[in-house]
Amino acid sequence: MSTNLRQLAWSAALAAGVFACVPAHAGKDLEAIKSRGALVCGVNTGLAGFSAADSQGKWTGLDVEYCRALAAAILGDGNKVRFSPLTAQQRFTALQSGEIDVLSRNTTWTLTRDASLGLNFAGVNFYDGQGFMVPKSLNVKSAKLLKGATVCVQSGTTTELNLTDYSRANNLNLKPVVFEKQEAATGAYFSGRCQVFTTDASGLASIRSKEAQKPEDHVILPELISKEPLGPAVRQGDSEFFAVAKWVLNALIEAEEYGITQANVDQMKKDSKNPGVMRLLGAGTEDTGKLLGLDKDWAYRAIKAVGNYGEIFERNVGEKTTINLPRGTNALWTQGGLMYAPPVR
């Protein structure tokens, strides 16, 4: 290599190193959230364990808590969120049009949605799969025995498409009965209009526990017929806000890996000598916040607001709740699950 080529290569490497350390400048969406003083979060109209409002209008759920963590990281307060309940058909338009800042509504990450709707998925906050629920009185043990059955399903979802694929692939001649709103679909199933109800398995467990007069009278069949990686999404066009949305989710997962909880986060920030913990909580000299357009306590505030991923899971859908879901694939990678966060460093 000539001297001139060496100099060019060295200059390029140096420039790359310099630019890698340049602090982020807040994009238009991130600036709008800061100026407004509130995060607008699109959620489900009502799915217990994921996003649902009580009689006082207080929102709870796994998807809701992600929004609170995001608000805490950006605005310093997990309560600075305005929740916008959306149907499956409304959700993408609401995000595309700027009606909401982030969509956190048990939404499956697919190629079409990622590549053609102007969205960026921030990651996966729940690994799921589509299943079937039937009345126990039918005495059906497998979805393969549902030939010719009527199936209640919500339109505008991957659920509707998967049902058609599964029926055709297994020659079941399933007969979809389609509804725009989930409440209408579940109501039709429980009234006997359909023999079967289908949605994500987590949704089946939620609906059975909250809406069935006698949950024990309904059985969730063992088959999962699809992959449903659910996660929050933001609009394309603001890479800085996209980065914040991604790394808040990663921080909640990494906090569980380090054993940082909502209860001990202050003590860990004060006393831990683990470089990873110090970096995550903004206790050391490293400032990851400046790379995101935030201050160095961004992740500390998110964890302080809602706890780590495991706490969020157990509080909303875990085995001590009426929904009673095991961690399963949503356990940490160190415990046989799929939850794995890139390092915050």
Output the pLDDT for position 26: 63
Output the pLDDT for position 13: 47
Tens of pLDDT along 105-134? 999 999 999 999 999 999 999 999 999 999
Rounded mean pLDDT, 280-306: 97
* In the chain, % of residues over pLDDT 70: 92
Tens of pLDDT along 35-78? 999 999 999 999 999 999 999 999 999 999 999 999 999 999 99
Rounded mean pLDDT, 302-328: 97
Domains of the chain: 28-127+230-321 (3.40.190.10), 130-226 (3.40.190.10)
Query: What confidence tier does 23 reach under pLDDT thresholds 50, 70, 90?
Result: low
- Comparing 12 with 130, the larger pLDDT belongs to 130
Rounded mean pLDDT, 212-217: 96
Average pLDDT, the chain: 93
Output the pLDDT for position 27: 86
86-123 CB burial, b ≥16 within 10 A, e <16: bbbebbbebbeeeebbbbbbbbbbbeebeeebebbbbb
Output the pLDDT for position 14: 42
**Single pTM value for the model:** 0.89
Query: What confidence tier does 25 reach under pLDDT thresholds 50, 70, 90?
Result: low
Output the pLDDT for position 22: 52
Query: What confidence tier does 24 reach under pLDDT thresholds 50, 70, 90?
Result: low
